[in-house]
Chain A
Amino acid sequence: MSDKKDITLTINGRDHNVSVDPRWTLADVIRDHCGQTGTHLGCEHGICGACTILVDDSPVRSCLMFGIQADGKKIRTVEGLANGDEYHPLQRAFIENHALQCGYCTPGFLMLATGILEAQPDISDDDLNDVLSSNLCRCTGYANIIKAVRIARDEMKAAS
């Protein structure tokens, strides 16, 4: 009943021309049809946050948007964080502070943190805790994730 439609997704600055079924979520289109599998799917109903990406620089759940809705929008995923061989300050802080164990939730946390630190470089520790409560991690107990994002915030602020 539903015909495929041709759309263009701009992911990390590169255009992907894809033909999508309207029922495909943005997460599935990015992973299965654009080959960008860094974005992970956990719960597929908006609770866990593993699929968090930036759409027009705002962190959103890519399982709660349809791919067809992102036609022409600017999408950023974890693949776009590093600058060549140089890690993003958030990635480095995650590694150095043991902010991941299995790593499944990590792309979502990194994109959530990227979005909030770009929007609010001076965000307070309390407000950061509130934002980081958006996503689930079943390994770390969160303390090291919070620590890593605070360190990255301070580094990014000092470098700007």
Chain B
Amino acid sequence: MKPAAFEYHAPTTIDEAVALLAEHAPNDGRILAGGQSLVPTMAFRLARPTHLIDINNVANLDKLAIESGALCIGATVRHAQFHTPACDGVLGRLLTDVVSNIAHYPIRQRGTFCGSVAHSDPASEWCMVAATLDATMIAQSASGERLIPAKDFFETVMTTALNEDELLREVRIPVLSDDTVYGFQEFNRRAGDFAISMTLVTYQLEGGKIVDPHVGVGGAEDRPRRIAEAEAALAGQTPGDDAFRAAADAAAAAIDPMEDHATNAQYRRDLTATLVRRALENAAS
């Protein structure tokens, strides 16, 4: 249970970090941020990176601020920084509600928002939040920066649109309007465990009807995503049991669930339907 040997780099600027990444990525050089997923993987020797580029001392990666209508979350912002609202309004409250579901308190002191998104575990709460709220990922390499919308970012289990020489420098989440309501639901067998399924829903009301519904599902499929069929079942409807059950059933039918030794596809579909319905009920209450 000891990580294999590697060379350690501790750059202090973004330019230096991406130059090191460009040099070492072809030889399995990796970024080390919070390390709460990477280091256990190294302890099991499932990962044996030859170089680690530690970004914890890089200046200007700790941004956590509203800019141009989005909450900008820099690469070294820790989960624990969301224990209290990171911004005023609905988005800050939503992120604070979600964060307590991420692993455990000591893990949240080190683990980072961007690291979780870059790691892209299907059961990651932040990945589902990013997908549901149409976040934009800022990928930085030695040759410049690239903006990647969430719908194009998550490809499959622990696989993203990031190139090997790109650092996920920042994630931007659009601010939610004051009339946005939301609900979050996650199910796992023990506190802090990986989600078997989870969902985040948001919508607004206009004249008593649902507008701009977002229904995101994570943990159930190989990547988190918005479920268009469930959103279509909500748009223009009056909030209530009929619309919520229709959306829940649509989500359950639309997903392509992962299976494992303890959980078959039907179980994950049923669970997802229940969670979507409960999240919508939370949003409406």
Contact = CB atoms under 8 A, between A and B. Distances in A.
A134 B106 contact: yes
Contact of A2 (B7, B109, B191): B7
A60 interface: yes
A121 to B, nearest CB: 16
- Interface of B (DSSP majority class): loop
B138 to A, nearest CB: 25
Contact of B110 (A5, A22, A60, A68): A60
A89 interface: no
Interface residues of A, number: 31
Contact of B8 (A44, A58, A66): A66
Interface in A39-74: 43-46, 49, 52, 58-61, 63-66, 68-69
Given A58-B80, A69-B54, A112 B106 contact: yes
How would you classify the secondary structure of chain A's contact residues: helix, strand, loop or mixed? mixed
Contacts of A61: 36, 106-107, 110
Interface string B48-88: 00101010100000000000000000000000100000000
A59 B106 contact: yes
A23 B106 contact: no
Nearest to B41: A45
Contact of B6 (A22, A25, A52): A22
A112 to B, nearest CB: 6
B192 A134 contact: yes
Given A61-B110, A64-B40, A112-B106, A2 B35 contact: no
A52 B50 CA distance: 27
B192 A59 contact: no
B5 A23 contact: yes
Residue among A63, A115, A134 facing the most chain B CB atoms (10 A cut-off): A134
Contacts of B44: 45
Interface of B: 1-8, 10, 35-36, 39-40, 43-44, 50, 52, 54, 56, 80, 100, 104-107, 109-110, 191-192
15 contacts: A1-B6, A1-B50, A2-B6, A21-B5, A22-B5, A44-B2, A49-B104, A59-B105, A60-B106, A61-B36, A61-B110, A64-B35, A65-B35, A66-B35, A69-B56
